[in-house]
A and B are shown apart, each in its own frame.
Chain A
Amino acid sequence: MSQTSSVADAAPAVTRSPSIARAKRSQIRGKLPVLVLFLPPALLLFTVFVILPMGEAAWYSFYNWNGYGLPDQWIGTRNYELIFNNGAFRQALINNGLIILISILVQIPLALWLATMVTHRIKGAVAFRLLFFLPYVLADVAAGMIWRFVYDGQFGLVAGIFNSFGMDAPFWLADRQVAFYAVLGVIVWKYFGFHMMLFVAGLQAIDKNVLEAADIDGATGWQKFFRVTLPLLGSTVRLSVFFAVVGSLQLFDMIMPLTGGGPSNATQTMVTFLYTFGVMRMQVGFGSAVGVVLFIICVTLAFSYKRVFMKND
């Protein structure tokens, strides 16, 4: 998806000039063998593994079907009605929104701040960069299991900290009101390093001369950051937010070992909801309907974000 749109972005603007049109024609002729050779396999794979399953899911979503035999019990839009009347799905939607919000309000500013620190100012910057990036390298499932243990109210690190102050340890993952904030903490911990690396790359691409010019003009540190660095980092920030949005919609493998979506569905995301209510309950029709809803949300978000915020990037 991102590939096709980036190809479209890269295509030069078509003008009416005949010489350019001729040049373009010959360009296409030159590309023709490449197209014939390389497009069909990719197109075939894309069709078989992306388009077809999506079409199938859309078709199944109108049936009450448990995955055995053929779907033959047509129930119209009942699956969709069930989804939107389902409290757990609403909670999952809210949770996905919260993840995006926290990503934008906490994670990205934190990543940006750390990135500016580890790019140049301090000693051992490279070591810090590695250290901060480490959580991201860890497999999601492993991170989930580790944090399940950290949060454990009986034996965990959190329990140890509370006990050392002589307080009773909380069971955050078992508390409906708190569990999702605990999960959010893990998400920030897990992914800030990734965003930081994006910013480090972005910062390194900024021309030093511009900053030196600002220095000569007598700009303060804050002014340099807000007037020079941040605007020049704009495309990276927008990309970072985009990744945060997509990541939120995909979040699954860390939640499952951490909370499994519980307690009482308080920590479901849309994908864990799909898995718990579609796959695990053998409600393939219902699960497909969730998949379709998720797909529509993803496509709408991705395209509109690209159109509105990333059109110049």
Chain B
Amino acid sequence: MTMLFGRLARHRLAIALSAATLLVGISSASAQSVIKWLHLEANPDRLAVWQDIAAQYEAEHPDVKIEFQFLENEAFKAKLPTLLQSSEAPSMFYTWGGGVLKAQTQTGALRDLTEAMDADGGAWRSTFSPAAVDGLSIDGKVWAAPFQWGQVSFFYNKALFEQAGVDASAITTWQDFLDAVQTLKDAGITPIAGGGGDKWPIHFYWSYLTMRELGKDGFAAAKNGGGFTGDGFVRASENLIELGALEPFQEGYLGATWPDTQAVFADGRAAMILGFQNTATPQIQAQAATDGEGLSGDQIGRFLFPLVEDAPGVITDEFGGLNGWVVTANAPPETEDFLKFYLSQDNARRLAAETSILPTTLGAEDGVVDPFMREIVTEMGGATWHQNYLDQDLGPNVGRVVNDMSVELVSGQISAEDAVQQIQDAFSLEM
């Protein structure tokens, strides 16, 4: 009986659904072009700003309709390959650049934006920071319109540093950093909040260490075929082992997710965190902390990832995310025009102010409100090298091996040589 009812109910649901899609189809057919905007923004406040911008555009262009499609982060990554190659492909979607973007470009499912960027003497291209456009270009072709970027750096709890007698401004080399960790430990303070469960928070360390060890040119040489087994990578891996040997992280860090990790720092249970540009913002602190408040801005200090002595890396080499919007091959021609509007200086400034992003659009930096973010965006203006997250840049497979190895190294499970060999093995399969 229940079976029968269940089937009937499902049947009715199916009819209702197909009727609904029919209706949607009719209503959307009245507008000439539909831009399907696939995103992963789960925060309703931020989404509201986007929707408002989209509504403005729709008002100015009555023949264009913008449809929002949401997918949760992991579902997005898992579903996109199939989606892109189907007739349901979105018109534009979010990208982290790097290896995934490269794989997508090879399918012919994406539209090359180079022409649009360079039209009218490069009018659109010149609105963005060149490093950001470069970061989303592959072999000289631009595949995504840059949207936001970021920088990973150390944030520290001023009170805990003071209690242990550590001067953050004196931490300039890796050895200084290790000494600071030891001093904090001796004072009975957990030095660092670490997210070994999610793995990628630990890959920040390996990435920065390799950047410091190899420098921009050395790293580029490795990526362009030189491989990951060179001395620089081995030394960086040894540095990470060294850090892990001091047991700098909170107890149980190997199971900790990123939200857990943020909570450890925001609750004052650890003195430092190597985190995103927005770590110190009141929103993130409130969201992360157990008490719903977290540390206030004046309780937090910030310093850049230390340099490695006698290595080519410089302090203005930065590591952080870079995101953009990809246009698909069959998207309506208005998509680029909408992106120009959405990423224009005025809108980018608004996005910076209201959704706390670091815009890649030039001249929109003054929209950044938070003092920490402001400081970072200024630093980024003088960056000598912006390296995207390695787990994006090297592609999903090699990237995840890097994440795995970072955790194995820091927890003392693997030797430096074996770790770089595993990364190299995965890398050589991709070539």
Contact = CB atoms under 8 A, between A and B. Distances in A.
A66 B81 CA distance: 9
A68 B255 contact: no
Contact of B252 (A68, A154, A176): A154
A153 B251 contact: yes
B253 interface: yes
A174 B254 contact: yes
On chain B, which size bracket covers the interface?
20 to 34
Interface in B91-143: 100, 103-104, 106-109
Contacts of A262: 196-197, 199, 254-255
A174 B197 contact: yes
B160 interface: no
A191 to B, nearest CB: 23
Nearest to B269: A154
Interface string B296-316: 000000000000000000000
A282 B196 CA distance: 22
B61 interface: no
Contacts of B253: 174
The interface centre, meaning the residue of B100, B104, B256 with most chain A CB atoms within 10 A of its CB, is B256
A282 B103 CA distance: 10
Nearest to A154: B252
Given A174-B196, A279-B78, A283-B397, A263 B255 contact: yes
B197 A67 contact: no
B82 interface: yes
B106 A280 contact: no
B81 A174 contact: no
Contacts of B199: 262
Given A68-B104, A69-B106, A263-B196, A281 B252 contact: no
Nearest to B196: A263
Interface string B79-96: 001101100000000000
B411 A67 contact: no
A68 B81 contact: yes
A283 B396 CA distance: 9
A281 B400 contact: yes
Interface in A275-313: 279-284
A282 B77 CA distance: 9
A284 B208 CA distance: 30
Contact of B78 (A154, A175, A280): A280
Nearest to B100: A282
B209 interface: no
B254 A282 contact: no
A64 interface: yes
A280 B197 contact: no
Given A262-B197, A280-B77, A171 B255 contact: yes
A281 B255 contact: no
A264 interface: yes
A280 B413 CA distance: 23
Nearest to A153: B252
Contacts, number: 78
Interface in B241-283: 251-256
Contact of A282 (B108, B252, B397, B413): B397
A174 B255 contact: yes
Nearest to A67: B81
A173 B255 contact: yes
Nearest to B408: A264
A69 B109 CA distance: 9
B429 interface: yes
Nearest to A73: B429
Given A280-B77, A282-B396, A64 B255 contact: no
A259 B84 CA distance: 31
On chain A, which size bracket covers the interface?
20 to 34
Contacts of A282: 81, 100, 103, 395-397
B397 A171 contact: no
B190 to A, nearest CB: 12
A171 B251 contact: yes
A66 B74 CA distance: 16
A264 B244 CA distance: 15
Given A67-B81, A280-B77, A264 B397 contact: no
A283 B395 CA distance: 11
A160 interface: no
B407 interface: yes
A202 interface: no
Contacts of A284: 81
A247 interface: no
A264 B407 contact: yes
Interface string A232-248: 00000000000000000
Contacts of A154: 252
A179 B78 CA distance: 27
A71 interface: no
A97 interface: no
Contacts of B107: 68-69
A259 B257 CA distance: 10
Contacts of B109: 68
Given A262-B197, A280-B78, A68 B396 contact: no
The interface centre, meaning the residue of A64, A67, A68, A69 with most chain B CB atoms within 10 A of its CB, is A68
Contacts of B255: 171, 173-174, 179, 259, 262-263
A280 B199 CA distance: 14
A109 interface: no
Contacts of B408: 264
B106 A174 contact: no
A252 B206 CA distance: 30
The interface centre, meaning the residue of A64, A171, A174 with most chain B CB atoms within 10 A of its CB, is A174
Given A176-B254, A262-B197, A263-B407, 5 more contacts: A68-B104, A263-B197, A280-B77, A280-B396, A280-B400
Interface of B: 74, 77-78, 81-82, 84-85, 100, 103-104, 106-109, 196-197, 199, 251-256, 290, 395-397, 400, 404, 407-408, 411, 413, 429
24 contacts: A64-B429, A66-B103, A67-B82, A68-B106, A69-B85, A69-B108, A153-B251, A153-B252, A154-B252, A171-B252, A173-B252, A174-B253, A174-B255, A176-B254, A259-B255, A262-B197, A262-B199, A263-B407, A264-B411, A265-B404, A280-B74, A280-B77, A281-B396, A282-B396
Interface pairs A-B: 7 shortest CB-CB:
A171-B252, A174-B255, A67-B81, A263-B254, A174-B252, A174-B254, A68-B107
